[in-house]
Structure formats: structure tokens, C-alpha cells
Structure 1
Amino acid sequence: MDLVPRPDQLVAAAGNVAQLLMYGGLADLRPMPRTLIDEGTLREVYHYRPAVNVRSQGDPVLLVTPLAAPAICFDLRRGCSVVQHFVEAGRPTYLVEYGNVSFRDRNLGLEHWVEEVVPTAVREVSAHAGGRPVHVVGWSLGGIFAMLAAADGPDLPIASLSVVGSPVDVTKVPLVAPLRPLLDLTAGRGLITRTYRAVGGAPTPLVRWAFQLSSFQKLVTKPVAIATHLDDREFLAQIEAVDRFTAQMTAYPGRSFGQLYHRFAKGNALATGELQVGDHDVSLADVTAPVLVFGGSTDGIAPVAAVKAVVPLLRGAREVRFEIVPGGHLGMLTGRAARGTTWRVLDEWIDRWSQPTVTSGTAVGKKAPAKKAPAKKAAGKKTASKKTASKKTASKKAPAKKAPAKKAAPPTAAPASEETIGSNPTRRYGSGSSRALSR
């Protein structure tokens, strides 16, 4: 609102406050309808039902959630939902989530997700979609899981990878970098290690606090921001949806948290391109699928530099593209600006690497010229069989000769050129940092 609110702003603000008091919120938090198609230990694979009057076709998309974050990161609220965007565009959409982590899961390590959860989800989605290859989209740690699974399983039916806000070089994360020298002083026997071993992981309150700390400034200024945006319904709805997301965060399993702490935070192992998973090393250079990497311009958890560090490590990928989009760690995925930036780039990327889909309309279009041609030839025979040829019949034959020329014109028209990601002049947020590493 303006410093001195206008009458229309006062009316909008009064309406929003009234709805908040009467109904408890402004955001449409209805989840997109879905069906469980596979499950296992900390693995639930869902298929989102096609939208009404929208035909679902083409290669499927699998959304991979990170540990400790609720799956609503992809379905935050109506209007700011990646799931809703894909479903309404007619894409077969799937999601893998992990359920509630408890103390009994404390012995599960990262290999459980890299070797079992994500690969099984990819195969199940491909089978459910009729054997088509899968476009995998992972956010935060989910993106790292997706890359490691693709590197460890070259036979997986993966059409492309999209990695959103996944930090690879933690020395470039301002929240972690200053603490790394202190972590090494304890030689693995410090307070953090003893605590997560005792409680079986990272408890939910700690996970929630760490996420909020990444945007501490926004947390402090939140009351002022709400007061100055009381007339902005979309702004208030987004804050409400993000608060629900933060409240639903879960715990990390003890062994997985220990590996993340020692190998990522202290050792920065992934920055070398290799990570020990289970009893063997997995190299990001073994990823062969094309990879799209997103960095958020204001991301405090995964800054642009920390994310971009993965680009030279994906040496075996068919193609690698890097895009900078507006937003913080969650906002770049499902913020209000993501509709015209991140989602648009995702659509372009998935379309580029999708198998062609033969539709009934295309088949009819090819048969149509064949049906018309014989019809006009038959007319010509009838005219030729008449013994009383006149000038009128001659004039009727002339157009028949021109008709094939008109029909031949459409096939010779040049097809629309494919738009290159990173050079779209209509995109709201330019991405001059885009680069392609074609092999």
C-alpha cells in the first residue's frame, strides 16, 4: 500500500482482513488430486490425475522432493503449483515423496535414496506411462539425489534431468563456509556428531529453524511486509502457503544426516564430482542424460555460485544448460515470478528432449490430401468420356491442373525454428548467464 493509502487500497485491505478473520486464510491450499501407484520403505510414488477436458500425453515428468521437506514444495497452492502447471498443460505428472521419518529409520543412509528410492520411482513411472522415458525434476537435495541416481544407473529410462537450487560446492554457501574450519577442529567427535547420533538424526524443530535462518532478514521484516501489503491478496496468500510449508518439515534420518554433515558440509566431497554412496564411488561425469541447472538469484541456501559449480562436473552429459531465475530457495521453484521464468524454461527443456507423440489429428492431416486427389481425377475421367467436348468443359479442366500446385504448397513451408533456451526475448527475467556444453 502507499504511505497514504488510496480508497481502493483501503477497500481491498479491509476485504482481505475480513476474510482472514472469518475463514482463517486467503490461499487456496487444496492439493491436486493424485493416486498412489507404488510404495516401499520411505518411498511413495504418486500419479496426479489429468485435468478435466485436458488430454494427458507425452513423456512423463517425475518430481523428486528433498529430504525433510514436504512434497507440497511442488504443490504449494493453487496458482503457484508446479504440479498444477504440468497437469493443466497435459503432461503426465508424478511425484516421489518419503513420508514421515522416525527414529526407526535412523540407520538409513543416502544410498537408500540414490540406489533404491529414486531409481525405483523412475522405473515405476516409466512403466505406468507405457514405457516412455522420464523427465526427472529435482529440487534442492532432490536434485542431487536425481543426478547421483542417474550417474549410478546408466540403464534408467531418463529422458532429461532438471536440477533446481541444488548446491554442489558448499564453500560458496555463506551460511556454511564460515563454520567449516570450526567443524574440523573436533575430528568428528564434536557436539553436532554426538547429538545427531543420540537422537537418531536431525529433529524437525532444528530443520525448520535452519530453513528459516536462510531468510532471516525476511523473517524479521515479515510483520512490516504484511502490514504494508494488506491490500495485496496474492502476497498474503503466498506468505500463508510458505508458512504451511515450513510447518510441515520433517526430520532427517540419523545416518543420512551424518553423511550430509561429514561429506557435504565438512568434506565438500561433491565439489570434486565424486561421492561415496554405499560401498562404491559415484561420479557425476557418468551422467549421460541432458541436464538443466537452475540457480536462484537471491537463494541463501543454494547461491548461484554453489549451484553453478556442477556444470563442469557433468562432462558426460549430452547437454548442460545453466539458468539464473528470480527468487530464493523456495521462491525460484514455486514463487509468483516462477510462472513466467522457471516454469517456462522447464517447458521448453522438456519439449526439446521429449519423444514425438503421434496424435489422431496428425494422422488425419496426412490422409486428407490423398482423399481429395482421387476425387478430382475421377471427375476428369468423366469429362473425358463425354464425346461432346465444348469450351465450357475445357475451362473446367484448367482449374483442375492448378489444384495440385496449391496442395503442394503447405508441405514446403519451413517449420517453426526451435527456440533456444536462454535467448527468449519474451522471458520476464533474462538469463545472460546461460551456457550450453554440447558434446
Structure 2
Amino acid sequence: MKLGIGIGWRPEIADAVEALPGIDWVEAVAENLCDDHLPASLVRLRERGVTVVPHGVSLGLGGAERPDPDRLAALAARAALLDAPLVTEHIAFVRAGGARTGSAVLEAGHLLPVPRTRAALDVLCENVRIAQDSLPVPLALENIAALFSWPDEELTEGQFLAELVERTGVRLLIDVANLHTNHVNRGEDPVRALDELPVEAIAYVHVAGGVEKDGVWHDTHAHPVTAPVLDILAELRSRVSPPGVLLERDDDFPPAAELAGELDTIRATLDGDGDGDRVRRPASGTPETSAGADPAPDPASEALRDRVAVAQTSLLSALVAGTPAPEGFDRRRLRVQSRALAAKRADVVAKVAPELPEILGRGYRDAFLAYAGARPMSAGYRRDALDFAEHLLLTGHPGDAAARRRLTHWWQDRAAPRPPRRVTRLARAARSVLVGR
């Protein structure tokens, strides 16, 4: 299916997206949409014949648990509402813990890499098949960016993706900016990845900007697309003509003219000298022939999932709860990732609950980071905002009486008829100690 040139639809730039010339399709974050009605901007785009693809971020198909049926149903409902030709998600895990590890469930609030091992691939493939069976349209999965590597990996990124496609028939969403990120952060060769992955399985391509700080590339989606990312896009274009290419921008939105300029640059890159017909490796199979090729479920599959769960929980706990880094990881990189996760929590909470930074003023960020350092997220960003406000009230903050009254009223309107009392504070403190053991 030919998609063409598109851009990520975000509410902050909805008007600009509607006005951009030459937009064939848009991608919308699935979790930001209701399952029974669409924003007026997306309705108008669809009426013009613009395709809308829902892009999920919360399934965690690389996690140890099987996909949550409610999350799959919600993604399916959005696909049906949009009459989308496909849905997309990520090769990542986003939460860990729970019954398999006898610990609290931890939420990363971000996409984290799965180890490129046979065990992790087995779990991922089963999860992908479950998702495919639950969705009304084809599924495509995106390679993610990472600040760190897992120790003792057995496959390269290209090999991992190729085997995933061969075993499940899933399509690929290749993010060339993420290939560049992994080149800078993990020393991985993007050309080798393109040589090894099944380019004929590509559903579409992401292009995005980032920035390098202290030798680490941050995939921000808040900066202009850089030349090295466009070079990887050109390298991909020399192998295959991608059905669609989409520009992502999630923050620090520039004027519409700058977005249009970046789209023009992407078009020029795709119109380069590459023949677009050279596929370097044969097709790995199709869903009809390869998805059913795996043997029946292994009796040891639950034990395998348990081992993956322990590894992922240990890593995530180090990132969000301050526990020691697991053996074999680059501790400096994990510290960078930990700070990035906390900063993202602060930014997203400020978006979902803008009253909090308004009430707290310049002290918001420091207060939130202090809170986040000892309290991992366990139930999403909106719950996180309520828990943060409750924590401030329990600890006597903010000191300004007027600000404290405003925060109390905000919390009461959303969480409870009265502020938390001392007994609540003591009970929750005790529970936190027990969970942390």
C-alpha cells in the first residue's frame, strides 16, 4: 500500500498540519485518541482523503507479559474508528514487575530496548502473534532508539528484525533517526542494519530530529532533522522505495514554514539518485507461510517469560527506583537513561496537569524530580500527577499558603473529597518500604 509523504499529527500543530501542502497521510498517537470520536482536525483531514494511522506506545510487546487484552481492544477500536489501513507499535518493553517477580509493577513511561537474544525474541514473537490475532488490520513494528545496550546479546539489530519478520510475518516501521541514535550511542552500523533487515517488509519510515550531548545522542523529536539521518534515509532509498515516509515532531514545534521545509528536504532525499529497486536480501517469507512455522508452545514458555521478567524488572528498577545496576550494564549510560526518564516524567506530567507547574512556579521541576527519584511510576502519567500533588500536601508543600490552598483544591477536585491525612501518609510510607525490599 502506498502512503506517500506524511507528518505526525499532534494537537499543538493541528492547524499547521491541515494547511501543509502535499500531505498524503498523518500518524496519530493512539493513546491520545478516544475510541468513540475523533478531534475535529482529524475528521476534516479524513474528509479530504488523508489517511490516518494510529501509532501505539503502551502495548509493551517486548515485555515478559502477554499483551493486555484491554490495550489491544483499545488499539483495535481506534483502527476501526479511523478506518486505518494498518496500526503500528514498537519493539520495546514499557513496564515490568508484577506477579512473575513478586514485586510491584513499574512503569518506565518510555520505550526501553529488549535484549537481542533468542529468549527475548521467542517471547516477542508470541506477543506479536497475539496482537496480530486481536487487531482488525495489519501490524507494523518500529525499531527504537536506545541509550544503552544489554550485555551478552546474540543478534544484531538487522538479524533480530529479520527473524522477527520471518517468524511472524509482521511488517516493519523503520525509524532511520533511531538507526542513527544507535550508531552514536551503541556503535552500531546503520548500513549493516539495512543490509541485514528485510527491506521488502517495510510498511513505512520515520524521520526525526535529535541532539548530541556529552557524546550521547538524544532522540528528542524536538530538533530539526540532521544530515546523518537524511543520509541513512538515502541509503535506505537506494535499496527500496519505501511505501511511506513520515516526519515526526513532538515538542518545541517550529513555524509551519520550517515543517514544510523539512518535508521538502525529505522529498528531495527520496528523489535522489538511488534506483529504489535493489533489495539486498530475499524476502523472508509471508504471513501465510511463516507465521505458522514455529512449533507448538514449549512447555517451558512460562519459565522463559519468568526469566525475561526478572531481567527486565531488575533493569527497570535500577532506572526508576534507584536499585543497583544489573551486572554487565554500562552504569554511566544507565544513569543518563535514568535522568532522561525522570525528566520526561516531569515534562509529561506538566502537560497532562498544566495547573501543577502554574501553582508551583519555578519550583515545579525540582520538586517533581525529587519526588520521582524515590517514587517510581506505576499507573500512568495522570495518576502520577495526582500522586505527586498528594506527596506535596503530605509533606507540607508548597510553603506558600495561597499556593497550598490552590493545590489542595486541585487535588480534591480530581482525587478525593478531602486532603490526605497523617494516617494516610504513614500507611503509604510503610507500603513503599515493603515494596522496595
Give the shorter-chain TM-score range: under 0.3
TM-score normalized with structure 2 length? 0.27
Higher alpha-carbon Rg = 1
* Structure number with higher relative contact order (C-alpha < 8 Å, ≥ 6 residues apart): 1
TM-score normalized with structure 1 length? 0.27
